[in-house]
Amino acid sequence: MPQPWSESDAEAFVEIYAAHGVPDDLALRTYSARLLGRVPALVMHGGGNTSVKTTVRDVFDAEVPVLCVKGSGWDLATIEPEGHPAVRLEPLRALRSLRALSDEAMVNAQRQNLMDTTAPNPSVETLLHAFLPHKFVDHTHSIAVCAVADQPNAEALAREIWGGRVGVVPYIMPGFSLAKAAAEAFEQDPSVEGLILLKHGVFSFGDTARESYERMLSLVEAAARHLGKASPTYAALALPGPVAPARAIAGDALAAVRGSLARAAEASGAATRWILDRRSNGEIDRLLADPMLDELARRGVSTPDHVLRTKGWPLVLPPAPTVGALDGWIEEADRRLAAFVDGYRAYFARNDARSAHPKTMLDPLPRLVAIPGLGLVGVGKSSGDAAVAADIGEAWAATVLRAEAVGRFEPIDEADLFDIEYWSLEQAKLGKAADKPLARHVVVVTGGAGVIGLATARAFAAEGAEIALLDLDGVRTRAAAAAVSARALGLACDVTDPASVSAAFARVCETFGGVDVVVSNAGAALTGAMADLSDERLRASFELNFFAHQSVAREAVRLMRLQGQGGALLFNVSKQAVNPGPDFGAYGTSKAALLALVRQYALEHGRDGIRVNAVNADRIRSGLLTGEMIATRSAARGVSEADYMSGNLLGLEVRAEDVAQAFVASARLMRTTGNVLTVDGGAVPAMMR
């Protein structure tokens, strides 16, 4: 819900930013922009824009009227004062006298008049803000307003809902023409508090930041009240949906979708690995259960700029599969995805034919997938991008339901949709940064809350991978995940329990869509001479150091085969597997068995494109080699702890970070399997050859 204006909070912003030389009105602009940006029902992921008209001093110390307007790349939820770059106001207003202005000329004029030429490009709607006379101007893509603005009779509805409080602007693509039309709509009645842009969103304005903000909330609330009157119709859409599938089947279905996307991407020349983000709530479930879902999905996005994140329509798949029905479901998913790709190619061809300048087709894969009984699934090159698509999918579902409750959801048509999707000014918002080496990969690390596990997770995250940590203590594991990245997943998992392993991997698939690399790292060094070991203690060592790795590997291979993209299985084996030490028989024998397991998996799954490699490390400060154990061993050898830890050919202590880099290197060796990479500084008895 939107937050009410707080004078104390506003004053705090003014005081904090005054210490950095920020004028009061820009500080207040920052405060109210954040209030708007933090409400998903108003603004999502860089959408919306805000401005304030003020003055700044130039190099001659003369006061210059400027428009401080949201800059490209800034998000209202977290915007800082520099996110509203200052543009000379009078030259912007002078542009209104022109009969026409190309997009390129508009952008050039805006950049020419920046007070700071290093500032980001001003918003594509800068001129609309400039042509309005008010000091503060706010623009959002409110779900409630869009549900009204996306109606075939939206103008009449606007008059019914807001009366003379708003001007109504027909749909025009953002830019010079829309700015002129908006100014003209305002001038027809300068007493209006805002503008409704059909098929687009809402503007509010005022002499103070508070006035503009509260007008925005009031206009949105009026739309919400109107929608609420239609609650009987809205409730009729609450149709019973399919029974939600068991978690394991949900995870399998998402891994299968990821595989389908990979196959379609390969055929289209696009990147083959994609990250998924599943969403399910009451509104999503109601929409996906609607018999008209396919037709509703094809109508388009709720506000034009969402096409950049989700394309023009979602891929609709069959209801989520049940146990035993996955194979047939995958076949139908592949067929529907192929039809989606063909449909996108046809859409591009139809619309590119009318373009004055031929376009280059973007990849034809969906960015939003609707699966009745499972939810809406965002698709992206990273978990962040997938989350953006999923968030916008949630907003789309909410808008469609509300629009259908009062009439008919009818957003912009295909031609307008194409023009926005292929508009260079909008595409520039997305950025074209190159992927990191392991971007689009999902990495699972067992023993993830331990020293080596956490170091490994951080090393993979630095390479661009999405991270899931599994460990016995859920609280510690979630804390470890938070230390890796904001989007890393931390799960409680007992790797000695196959059911716990399966449930954890299903959660990983629900979160990211699948698994690409597994670092099977969990283990413990149980000590004692073999002849003195109880059967119980020896079996406990094998349960953790052998059978647990088998459970992890078996589940990982099952999912990797389902995805059909290969993958990497990496095991923390230890030098004990090849160079056993006295009184470490329980550990050494179980690790030797693990090394044999590594070779067996490499032998059996090369045909699946799954690479299986091991890391043999020694003398790493961790939960296995504690400070107490280091002190005991160094004393027994009559050397200092430092000399004990660096007792290798290189004379260097080997760190957890070194082991982590060995795992990363193994994951990136695309034509290596059955390999053992030793990380011990050079221990002759443990050399593999």
How much is the pLDDT for 320? 92
How much is the pLDDT for 236? 46
d(CA 185, CA 166): 9
d(CA 3, CA 22): 24
How much is the pLDDT for 235? 45
List residues bridging with 376 in a β-sheet. Answer: 279, 370
CA-nearest of 279, 354, 331 to 310 is 279
List residues bridging with 528 in a β-sheet. Answer: 584
Q: Report how far Cα 103 is from the mean position of its chain's Cα atoms.
A: 30
How much is the pLDDT for 485? 96
How much is the pLDDT for 373? 92
List residues bridging with 688 in a β-sheet. Answer: none
Q: Report how far Cα 327 is from the mean position of its chain's Cα atoms.
A: 29
Residues 6+ apart with CB under 8 A from 85: 68, 69, 71, 114, 115, 116, 119, 120, 122
* Residue indicated by tokens 């990273």: 382
| Helix (H), strand (E), coil (C) string for 306-345 | HHHHHCCCCEECCCCCCCCCHHHHHHHHHHHHHHHHHHHH
Contact 645, 441 (CB under 8 A): no
d(CA 139, CA 167): 14
* Angle formed at CA 173 by CA 342 and CA 113, multiple of 5 degrees: 125
Regarding beta strands 63-69 and 136-140, do their DSSP bridges make them parallel or antiparallel, or are they unpaired?
unpaired
Tokens matching residue 491: 């799960």
How much is the pLDDT for 115? 97
How much is the pLDDT for 230? 61
Q: Which of 347, 587, 601, 644 is catalytic?
A: 587
d(CA 351, CA 424): 15
d(CA 504, CA 321): 20
pLDDT in tens, 63-115: 999 999 999 889 999 999 999 999 999 999 999 999 999 999 999 999 999 99
Q: Report how far Cα 207 is from the mean position of its chain's Cα atoms.
A: 37
Tell me the CA distances in angstroms from 194 to 122, 164, 180, 451, one per residue in order.
22, 10, 15, 57
182, burial (CB in 10 Å: exposed 0-12, middle 13-18, buried 19+): buried
Regarding beta strands 136-140 and 201-206, do their DSSP bridges make them parallel or antiparallel, or are they unpaired?
antiparallel
The reply to whether 234 belongs to the active site is no
Classified as helix, coil or strand, 601 is: helix
Contact 615, 560 (CB under 8 A): no
Mean pLDDT by 10 residues, the chain (689 residues): 94 96 97 96 90 95 97 94 98 97 96 95 96 98 96 96 97 96 98 98 98 98 88 47 65 96 89 93 92 96 93 96 92 97 97 91 96 96 96 96 93 96 78 85 97 97 98 97 97 98 97 98 86 92 96 98 97 88 86 96 98 93 80 83 89 94 97 95 83
**Residue 610: φ, ψ to 5°:** -100, 120
CA-nearest of 190, 213, 194 to 204 is 194
Helices (H), 366-523: 383-406, 414-421, 424-427, 451-462, 474-484, 498-512
d(CA 614, CA 574): 9
Number of alpha carbons in the 13 Å side-chain half-sphere of residue 131 = 23
How much is the pLDDT for 555? 98
Residues 6+ apart with CB under 8 A from 584: 525, 527, 576
pTM of the predicted model, to two decimals?
0.92
**73, 76, 78, 79 alpha-carbon torsion, rounded to 10°:** 70
**Residue 137: φ, ψ to 5°:** -135, 135
- Determine how many CB atoms are found less than 10 A away from the CB of residue 322: 14
Classified as helix, coil or strand, 139 is: strand
- Amino acid symbol at 621: R
- Determine how many CB atoms are found less than 10 A away from the CB of residue 293: 16
Contact 261, 371 (CB under 8 A): no
* Residue indicated by tokens 């509260």: 214
